[in-house]
Amino acid sequence: MFLLISGSNSATAAAKKVPTAAIVPASLSFPATAPGTIGVAQTVTLSNTGAATLKITGITLTGADPTVFSLKKTCGAKLSKGASCALSIAFKPTSSANFAATVSVADNAAGSPHTVVISGTGIAAPSSQTLIIEPDQGLAPIYNLLNSAKSTIDMTMYELVDTQCQQILTQQAAKGVVVRVILDQALEKTSNTPVYTYLNANGVKAVWANPIFQASHQKTITIDGKTTAVMSLNLTSRYYSTSRDLAIIETNPNDIAAIEKTFNADFTSSSITPPNGDDLIWSPTNSLTSLLAMINASKSTLEVENEEMGDAQIVAALESAAKRGVQVEVAMTNGGNYATEFNALKAAGVKLSTYTPTAPLYIHAKMILVDNGQSGQQAFVGSENFSNPSLTENRELGLSLTDPAILQSLNTTFASDFKGGTPWP
């Protein structure tokens, strides 16, 4: 009897001497974080609540997206009974998306591996956007942007024939600002040669655009690596008073980083596939597919301004939108080159309003406004014309936009332009 009792007690004591692993909390959710930014780290605690040493054989990140999370640990290979250690997890999203992973602790306790489910969301980097409408606002916003530079100005310009602008560039260079300018040579070398010579003689580094492009039609100004203007307008003063043009000044760091990376490659005529940032529409890489997708997504209205209408895929997409019941309106200057396209658009139900080349307003803007005031509304503003060279052979840049205030301003301007023209034919 005594032996039985003694044996039972020994077995009970032995059974109690096992480790028990506990992780608190069992899940972590990180707040929305801009892509490329490391958020504030969060901590979970691994405890041994058992009666024996917890032996840890591995602590790893697993699951769907382990690479966007990082793990720091104070835990060693063993955890004594009653002891605890900390695991610190940080989140660095790579894009605007939802991410998930699992912290997995392999050990000698029952239920191994012990896990913590972690999740986080990448959101578009915070930015501000300002719409500039020409000729209404004049060039003061652009000149002010150039004058605000403290360290760098990077400009890509199809045509630059503006004495005030070039003086600002050289004055900024004299103050120690590093000013770099890319000028088109494929189609505008004659117009740009005087400013090319002047800038290089006065402290600015101006280069000719990469000859791989049929034209470098991009129009951007980036200041101090923090603010950029993406424009439809050339900095050529003779156009300012009559040309309908648009510009967006923005501070989105992902867009600006992508623009600067591309500028640096283009400045040395190096090969690059431009990064898309959060909102960028580049030629010759993604502009045609992006603009077609935008047109094809329209459900109720499409408002379009452009200088050209020669790309067959864009024309077909506008026709298709009208045929499925979308109200499609186009305002353009009619230089006599697109009668065939205009007739096809009208036959499909598109409403066209045109201006003569000598009218007081010349439509030089490149704009698409989709479903204004409706769910899913969006817009495009940039340098891309609706021609095959512009979309597939040039260096061009535009932006996709969703800011309701900007879209409403685009709508108001378009309504005025459409009303001011003459119905086709």
Q: pTM for the complete prediction? A: 0.74
Q: Count of CB atoms within 10 A of residue 367's CB?
A: 24
Q: How far apart are CA 413 and CA 225, in angstroms?
A: 30
What dotted CATH number matches 128-276?
A: 3.30.870.10
Q: What residue spans define the domains of the chain? A: 17-121, 128-276, 279-425
Ramachandran angles phi, psi of 173, nearest 5°: -65, -40
pLDDT for residue 38:
87
- For residues 85 and 87, give the distance between their C-alpha atoms in angstroms, rounded to a whole number: 7
**Cis before residue 274, ω within 30 degrees of 0?**
no
Residue 237 in contact with residue 161, Cβ under 8 Å?
A: yes
**Model pLDDT, residue 407:** 97
pLDDT of residue 17: 87
Spatial strand order of the sheet with 422-423 comes to 280-283, 396-401, 378-382, 367-370, 301-305, 327-333, 351-355, 422-423
CATH architecture of 17-121: Sandwich (2.60)
Residues 254 and 226: their CA atoms lie apart, in Å, by: 10
Between strands 205-208 and 243-250, the pairing is unpaired
The distance of Cα 202 from the centroid of its chain, to the nearest Å, equals: 34
Instruction: Tell me how crowded residue 275 is: count the other CB atoms within 10 A of its CB.
Output: 16
Peptide bond into 389 cis (omega under 30): no
Query: What sign does the CA torsion over 72, 74, 79, 84 have?
Result: negative
CA distance 341 to 231: 26
Which residues are bridge partners to 400 per DSSP? 380
Mean pLDDT by 10 residues, the chain (425 residues): 45 69 94 84 94 94 94 92 94 90 95 95 80 97 97 98 98 98 98 98 98 98 97 97 98 95 98 95 97 97 98 98 98 96 98 97 98 96 98 98 96 98 95
pLDDT at 96: 82
Domains 17-121 and 128-276 share a fold: no
CATH class of 279-425: alpha beta
As a whole number of angstroms, the distance between CA 399 and CA 372 comes to: 17
**Helical ranges in 274-366 per DSSP H:** 287-296, 312-323, 339-348
